[in-house]
């Protein structure tokens, strides 16, 4: 079968080099699948009948650090930070392989190189990933009907699904992940096997499960992905704590049960393009609710006191189980723990806001606001940032900025006393404010040398004149401070 795809010259050259040396060379796997879908591939994979040492001999710069025969061919003409061509800097070239029995549901007991493309395609997971493309001839090799399945938006195993999932149980999770990433459905026989063999995920390392889970969370359809994880029974091997939210009714402020509320919060984080830790915090922010739910006869409604604290601890345990890095666990659990810091905006003070910033850290405080926005949308509220949330944004920015004060000067009271040989007194404050007034008008004067000399000169002025200069500087400082605060509040449309 002939097919024409536009292949970047950097990729074509790898294939040409192999073929010029007498070897076969095909693009294979996800890059071919993406080409069919009209999507720019994130990675380029080449398969060949050349052995690793033969591949290495053909290219000037390579690396080979694995047990699977994959050689990384480095294109040094492309910079690592080249946003446009970065995916083509390293092309993975792997010999045709055939694999022996799998006794641990994870890895083949033995990997053997093969001279046959048929052997290589036969061992792949899904039909959409078992298509090979010869660049020079424009020839498609598709023995398992992958092209048709891509057109039908269908995820289907190569051969019997029981065999593929026995070989590597992670493929069960990959099927769900591809559904979330691509928007494809899982073919019925494949789906039946996913449900039947879910228990084999017990044999898979937490790190491998984590990596697939991350891809689901970062996909275009994370909400659909989590729903599918639950429907197939896979979620209990990732975060069974989430399933306790199914059917868990909330109080009158909510229109969704805890389960759907968490999922909608996650999906909103995706729609806003927020990073992984915010998305996972949005998903887990109310994970503690089912464990704290109590009926209040007084309120005639459900209460969830302390669910933020309980949820923070639960989030940490979930992420530890999945082998996330310590800093990541800290960040997510902190966001979950403090997602309820809000109180009456008429009563909250800047001091209280500063305490929140101190608890979560200035690096996380804006992420905390984003989690709160996800919480609101997950409740079915029409606005992400109502007045109350905008007011908090304003107060946080006010609390975090450096105030307009004499502390900005390159000299302090002790420096003035030393320079002019003075004793403590009201004159020191007047001098500081007089200097500050000058610096506000002429920032270039804010140097230690100038300010020392100017302080000495100011001290020689009559006391009344010095006091007037100091008071003028103080008034200007207060006006500048008020102006900055006013600008922040105007920015957020609050009073």
Report the alpha-carbon distance of residue 432 to residue 411 in Å, rounded.
8
Which residues lie across from 303 on neighbouring strands? 294
Q: Cα 2 vs. chain centroid, distance in angstroms?
A: 40
pLDDT by residue for the chain (495 residues), tens digit each? 788 899 988 889 999 999 999 999 999 999 999 999 999 998 899 999 999 999 999 999 999 988 788 999 998 887 777 756 767 788 999 999 987 555 555 555 567 899 999 999 999 999 999 999 999 999 999 999 999 999 999 999 999 999 999 999 999 999 999 999 999 999 999 999 999 999 999 999 999 999 999 999 999 999 999 999 999 999 999 999 999 999 998 877 788 999 999 999 999 999 999 999 999 999 999 999 999 989 888 888 888 889 999 999 999 999 999 999 999 999 999 999 999 876 556 667 777 888 888 889 989 999 999 999 999 999 887 777 778 888 888 888 888 876 778 888 999 999 999 888 888 999 999 999 999 999 888 889 999 999 999 999 998 899 999 999 999 999 988 888 888 888 878 887 887
Looking at residue 402, what DSSP letter applies? P
CATH number of 9-151: 3.30.460.10
**CATH 3.30.460.10 in the chain, residues?**
9-151
Total-model pTM: 0.81
Report the alpha-carbon distance of residue 469 to residue 216 in Å, rounded.
64
From first CA to last CA, the distance across the chain in angstroms is 68
Q: Cα 43 vs. chain centroid, distance in angstroms?
A: 20
Report the alpha-carbon distance of residue 14 to residue 26 in Å, rounded.
10
Max alpha carbon distance in the chain (Å)? 99
């Amino acid at each position: 079968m002939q097919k024409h795809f536009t292949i970047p010259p950097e990729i074509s050259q790898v294939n040409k080099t192999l073929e010029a040396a007498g070897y076969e060379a095909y693009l294979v796997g996800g890059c071919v699948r993406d080409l069919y879908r009209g999507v720019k591939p994130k990675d380029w994979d080449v398969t060949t009948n050349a052995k690793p040492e033969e591949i290495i001999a053909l290219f000037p710069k390579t690396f080979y650090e694995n047990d699977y025969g994959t050689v990384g061919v480095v294109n040094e003409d492309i910079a690592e930070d080249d946003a446009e061509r970065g995916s083509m800097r390293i092309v993975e070239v792997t010999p045709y392989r055939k694999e022996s029995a799998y006794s641990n549901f994870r890895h083949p007991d033995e990997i053997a190189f093969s001279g046959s493309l048929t052997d290589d395609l036969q061992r792949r997971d899904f039909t959409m990933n078992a298509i090979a493309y010869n660049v020079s001839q424009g020839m498609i090799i598709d023995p398992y009907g992958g092209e048709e399945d891509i057109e039908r938006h269908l995820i289907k195993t190569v051969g019997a699904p029981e065999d593929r999932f026995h070989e590597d149980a992670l493929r069960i999770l990959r099927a769900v992940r591809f559904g979330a990433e691509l928007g494809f459905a899982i073919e019925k026989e494949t789906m039946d096997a996913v449900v039947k063999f879910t228990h084999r995920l017990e044999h898979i390392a937490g790190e491998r499960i984590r990596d697939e889970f991350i891809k689901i969370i970062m996909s275009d359809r994370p909400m659909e992905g989590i729903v599918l994880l639950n429907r197939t029974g896979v979620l209990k091997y990732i975060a069974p704590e989430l399933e306790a939210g199914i059917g868990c009714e909330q109080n009158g402020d909510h229109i969704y049960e805890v389960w759907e509320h968490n999922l909608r919060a996650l999906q909103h984080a995706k729609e806003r393009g927020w990073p992984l830790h915010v998305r996972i915090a949005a998903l887990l922010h109310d994970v503690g609710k089912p464990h704290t739910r109590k009926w209040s006869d007084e309120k005639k409604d459900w209460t969830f006191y302390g669910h933020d604290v309980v949820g923070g601890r639960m989030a940490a345990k979930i992420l530890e189980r999945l082998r996330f890095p310590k800093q990541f666990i800290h960040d997510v659990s902190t966001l979950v723990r403090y997602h309820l810091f809000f109180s009456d905006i008429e009563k909250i003070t800047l001091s209280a806001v500063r305490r929140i910033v101190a608890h979560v850290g200035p690096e996380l405080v804006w992420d905390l606001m984003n989690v709160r926005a996800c919480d609101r949308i997950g409740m079915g509220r029409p606005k992400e940032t109502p007045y109350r949330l905008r007011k908090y944004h304003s107060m946080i920015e006010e609390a975090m900025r450096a105030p307009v004060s004499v502390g900005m000067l390159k000299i302090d009271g002790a420096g003035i006393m030393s320079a002019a040989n003075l004793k403590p007194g009201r004159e020191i404050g007047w001098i500081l404010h007089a200097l500050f007034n000058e610096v506000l008008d002429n920032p270039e004067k804010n140097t230690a040398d100038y300010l020392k000399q100017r302080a000495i000169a100011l001290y020689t002025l009559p006391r009344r004149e010095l006091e007037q200069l100091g008071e003028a500087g103080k008034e200007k400082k207060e006006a500048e401070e008020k102006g900055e605060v006013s600008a922040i509040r105007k920015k957020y449309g609050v009073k």
